[in-house]
Amino acid sequence: MRRTIRTVPTLLAGALIGALGLSLTPPPPPAAASAAGATAGTPAAVNGRLTVCGVKLCNQHGKPVQLRGMSSHGLQWYSQCLTDGSLDALAHDWNADVLRISLYVQEGGYETDPRGFTDRVHRLIEKATARGMYALVDWHQLTPGDPHHNLERARTFFTEIARRHRGKTNLLYDIANEPNGVSWSRIRSYAEQLIPVIRAQDPDTPILIGTHGWGSLGVSDGRDERDVVDNPVRASNIMYTFHFYAASHGQEYLSALDRASDRIPVFVTEFGTQEASGDGPNDFGRAQQYLDLMARKKISWVNWNYSDDHRSGAVFKPGTCAGGGPWAGKTSLKPAGVWIRDRIRTPDDFPAN
């Protein structure tokens, strides 16, 4: 059986939970995967439906888990990097638990072709499901930064996604990538309008909410996590997102993540080992500090990004996607790709505590 999501304590409990998961409650095979019979022992099969438990994310047995995986680049630009071969590599060579499906709303994304982009997301959810990964559907609003700008579009999009996929146990919804230029209270009001729309279709899938200051818990606006702690979104089974870029965001961000994750459920839905532009030199030392913190506290994370964009944060070398790989192994990877693949593949860096 392949190694999957890390639970507490690490190896023994992982094996035990895996065994329990398979013997007591065999997960129903997802429709798309049953033909291939490929899902037994995968992260999504072993851990099943995820639920927010206190400040953690728990599997179907109530054990805190940490998901690790990759974000796509914008679907409007880099769909060619999301092939059957590349997703096989992500699931079976990288051993990723989760694929974040990054649906830009502007910049040539969803708003230009709602039908076409919604169908692309449907297909990618099925591909992640067939490979036993969690599918994190990312409503990638960015410019403008006020999520209310896209509220009607989000209602339409998530209503269809939630209705179509509500029978699945491997989904997560991220309803606002990086709100910016707006107060926390404005984001909160957006979340409180959209969440009931999603819950009406699918009452159980965890919902992730972007925080102010580009997902910095307010830090980049000179604020901090207390805005959220003092005024949480009035809904259950939700988490708040935090984003960082290690070469740009140092101790102040790290401390905010550490403090916040003691008080509210936090999911790092995007980070890079380089600068906030997604480019420039990597700071692997600083990035490892974040990873150590997230391992210790079972904070799930997703790295930006699984494409061959020229920037240093895109894991593949330019030309890889047009050339159809090679996807597995290290030959096609930039330094950030080699580094992050190692950290997704390896078991817990930290002993249980």
Q: Which residues are catalytic, by number?
A: 178, 270
Question: Between residues 25 and 277, which has the closer beta carbon with respect to ligand IDC?
Answer: 277
Binding pattern for the stretch 53-82 against ligand IDC, x by CB under 6 A and - elsewhere:
------------------------------
Q: Which residues of 110-144 are buried (b: 16+ CB within 10 A; e: fewer)?
A: beeeeeebbebbeebbbbbbbbbbbbbbbbbbbee
Beta strands in 83-165 (DSSP E): 98-104, 134-140
Q: Please, which residues bridge with residue 6 across strands?
A: 66
Residue 77, number of CB atoms within 10 A of its CB: 16
Taking CB under 6 A as the rule, does residue 214 contact ligand IDC? yes
Alpha-carbon distance of 21 to 5, in angstroms, equals 13
Q: State which of residues 42, 72, 76, 177 lies at the interface with ligand IDC (CB under 6 A).
A: 177
Q: Are strands 134-140 and 171-174 parallel, antiparallel or unpaired?
A: parallel
Residue pair 101/67 in contact (Cβ under 8 Å)? The answer is no
| Residues that contact ligand IDC, how many (by CB under 6 A) | 14
Check if the beta carbon of residue 270 is closer than 8 Å to that of residue 243.
Answer: yes
Q: Which of 276, 293, 328, 352 binds ligand IDC (CB under 6 A)?
A: 276
**Cβ 17 to ligand IDC shortest distance, Å:** 33
From CA 102, how far away is CA 177, in angstroms rounded?
Answer: 9
Interacting positions 297-326 with ligand IDC (CB under 6 A): 304, 309, 311
Region of residue 181 (left: phi > 0; alpha: psi -120 to 50; beta: else): left
> Which part of the chain contacts ligand IDC (CB under 6 A), choosing from 14-22, 37-45, 270-278, 293-301?
270-278
Nearest distance from C-beta of residue 5 to ligand IDC, angstroms: 24
The pair of structure tokens assigned to 173 is: 């919804």
Smallest distance, ligand IDC to C-beta of residue 92, A? 26
CB of 197 to ligand IDC, least distance (A): 23
Q: DSSP letters of 158-173?
A: HHHHHHHHTT-SSEEE
Residue whose CB is nearest to ligand IDC in the complex, by number: 278
For residues 95 to 114, the per-residue mask of contacts with ligand IDC, x marking binding by CB under 6 A and - elsewhere, is: ------------x-------
Length of the chain: 353
CB of 110 to ligand IDC, least distance (A): 13
Contact between 202 and ligand IDC per CB under 6 A: no
Q: CB of 304: closest distance to ligand IDC in angstroms?
A: 6
State how far the Cα of 315 lies from the Cα of 303, in Å rounded to an integer. 10
By beta-carbon proximity to ligand IDC, the closer residue of 232 and 280 is: 280
Q: Which is nearer to ligand IDC, 5 or 315 (CB)?
A: 315
Q: Does 283 bind ligand IDC (CB under 6 A)?
A: no
* DSSP result, 188-233: HHHHHHHHHHHHHH-SSS-EEEEPHHHHSTTGGGT--THHHHHS--
For ligand IDC, the closer of residues 178 and 202 by Cβ is 178
334 touches ligand IDC by CB under 6 A: no
Distance CA 54, CA 262 (A): 10
When asked if residue 280 is in the footprint of ligand IDC (CB under 6 A), the reply is no
Stretch that binds ligand IDC, among 31-39, 90-98, 274-282, 320-328 (CB under 6 A): 274-282
Which CB, 76 or 129, lies closer to ligand IDC?
76
Q: Tell whether residue 243 is a contact of ligand IDC (CB under 6 A).
A: yes
The least distance separating ligand IDC from the CB of residue 270, rounded to whole angstroms, comes to: 5
Q: Applying CB under 6 A, which residues contact ligand IDC?
A: 107, 142, 177-178, 214, 243, 245, 270, 276-278, 304, 309, 311
